[in-house]
Amino acid sequence: MPLGEQRFTGITPQRFSDLAVKVRDLTGVTVTGNAGTAVKSGYGLKWNYDPAAQVLSIQVVAKPALMPAGFVQGKIKKLVEG
């Protein structure tokens, strides 16, 4: 079941590229392109990045069954803002 969309501002193209690498390393999900959906090993993300506005929207579309939704969203927030 999809979780609520998270929206982040001030994401430069370099920051987006760095985040894509971190997401891949943590979850196995490969983020390619400015928009898309990918699922791997029980994790699924839908993203939309607008480089001109420097806005990134992320929605979790799949997660391991025993992992709380708030935990997953907190990890994403920490990853993006950290």
Cα separation, 72 vs 19, in Å, equals 16
pLDDT digits (tens, 9 = 90+) for 20-57: 999 888 878 889 999 999 988 888 889 999 999 999 99
**Band (3; pLDDT cuts 50, 70, 90):** confident
Residue 77: alpha-carbon gap to chain centroid? 9
38-43 contacts at long range (C-beta below 8 A, 24 or more positions apart):
none
Percent of the chain with pLDDT over 90: 49
How far apart CA 5 and CA 43 sit, in angstroms, is 15
Domains defined along the chain, listed by start: 6-81 (3.30.310)
Strand 35-40 to strand 6-9: parallel, antiparallel, or no bridges (unpaired)?
Answer: unpaired
Whole-number pLDDT of residue 2: 64
The encoded tokens of residue 79 equal 């990853």
The pLDDT value given to residue 15: 97
The mean per-residue pLDDT over the stretch 63-71 comes to: 85
